[in-house]
Structure 1
């Protein structure tokens, strides 16, 4: 059997990278400046920075000193199980109003696990067109990988039509995949309408129709203590809500994720989810930080941090409406810290990003094909630790840069 020589493989790699450079899409690792103003991290509440949470960690980190190992030493099914991770899963289930939870090394692993092992060959998957890449990867790995149908973003009429088509074409269950808060646009899914639509269609079509909701950008922010949008809306026990994914690398300021569902589904994942089965478990100190984040979420400083965040979001949008033309600003209408400024064209988006970083703002361009062509944008994250002065300076810098660009055209 003839194979590729090393030189052919190297040439193919070089050609692929060259093609990406020509399109202005090459990715590079960049260490954020320690002096730049943070408008890019997902640390919404500043828990990963020095502050009250850092002081709160002490008693939980003490658990690590008592642990027999500094690492987990193996997968959860081998030597990586511990009393601490069991306590974490019990805490997560109670906190988010779920019957059971299962801890994963990352949100990516959680979504990959759910969507790769759960759908059977007769099932179908209906997904919001803006769903996260991790869900797409999971769907491609699933036994239902040819039974997938997108629906228009947050459009329940489009969802209805997509479910009906899926039910006509396939005789199994229908899984509807959404995010409760979308990572690029920062808008919120009409969760109640989606769940009630699925409930009604399940009766009409005599078919199981379930929703899987990714709460990565809602956990820690929505609800009395940051329980997420499903709890905030009183929908966490809805019969058509099969599972939720909550990640800890954002508002919780930690690492890892949980899948929230029933004991039956959790047992199934333990037995069939390959990213869970074959990954070394996270070490004791990672577990301790997540447990501390849950305990901290119920404290007065945490509530104050969430209140401050929403105040900063409201101020940001007020300043954006005042200083920026409507066609480039993408306000979330106070519902999300994720904001955006449309700068159509990858090159133009990169140029504005470089201009803003040179002025001391840590922001990133979001280019196509990550977002649809023509909707390239500067993605801005508002945090508790951003001051009103920093927010105003950023918006005025964007306005000035856009005015100079318009004058040169």
Structure 2
């Protein structure tokens, strides 16, 4: 495997802004942005936009110097002013912080509706403001708008040097807007690649799918899509638990090729699944849902097994290699630290609530006795009730303190679980 190491440069910053004038298509724009921003920037035509990067850095330096001089003016006494000399060390530090092995940096922008609407109308002044505010070199505006009875998807590019261009535009009936997602993503990436490219849409992607292109490094697959250069390619598909498979594909520039990928599962040896109690229910997602004992005649690795039984803790087992036997031993639920903590918490809250009620009852009885009784003898008649309520409150308060201590003991080591 050969890995290309790119030189450290200041990446081109490209902003992505979606404008949905229909109120129903924002998810499509987000999917386009997520896919484009996840792609490798190794084939990006950096030289075509290097002047924009230099211009942005020069403006940043000039602004920093202006701010520094303005601060000196504010701090001076008005009698003397020394203009700060240019600090090249700070400039080198700024450049080193901005340098990266990525040739392009995608920034997804979220702005207010008035600015979005202005950009949809190709307002160059607003676009220039946005590029300055977000310190970007290019701004891509994806617009979905009504074109009765159709919908139109339009992608405009604004550059910091004032140049604009149309990257993509197409019309479609509203129910088929999703069909423009792949062509629009391909149009955006083609606009910044130095060589013709196409896309391959895989009809299925098993978990952990890895794709090697032309005996080289693995190709990134996102949303079942791959971006490849124009021409013939040999793809090697592999995934845990599946047989490796090799397929050829011909990619045309600007097109999306459909590729059917069917990997055969590796048939493993049988496995016996048992438990200590014999009443455990087991589940292997998309395979079995049985009660033990059970013989799985052909295990498919890797796999995950879930075991559940009344009154016992749920257990999860993961297996990456073939095994002969699995014996499930579930622990009682009361051993679960989370379960014990929940019980202690419930007991604490119940005791605290009881203490508050008894305390309130004691106060009410005392207040009523003082307002109703006229003589000392009458007050003595209320004393048994008041003392009884106060005694019950004291006992409950003691129980609350014990519950609080028990809850503390349960939770002080909770970070271990």
- Higher-Rg structure is 2
**Pair in the same fold by TM > 0.5:** no
The normalised TM-score by structure 1 is 0.22
Point out which structure has higher relative CO (alpha carbons under 8 A, 6+ apart). Answer: 1
Determine which structure has the larger strand proportion and give its number.
2
Determine which structure has the larger helix proportion and give its number.
1
The normalised TM-score by structure 2 is 0.22
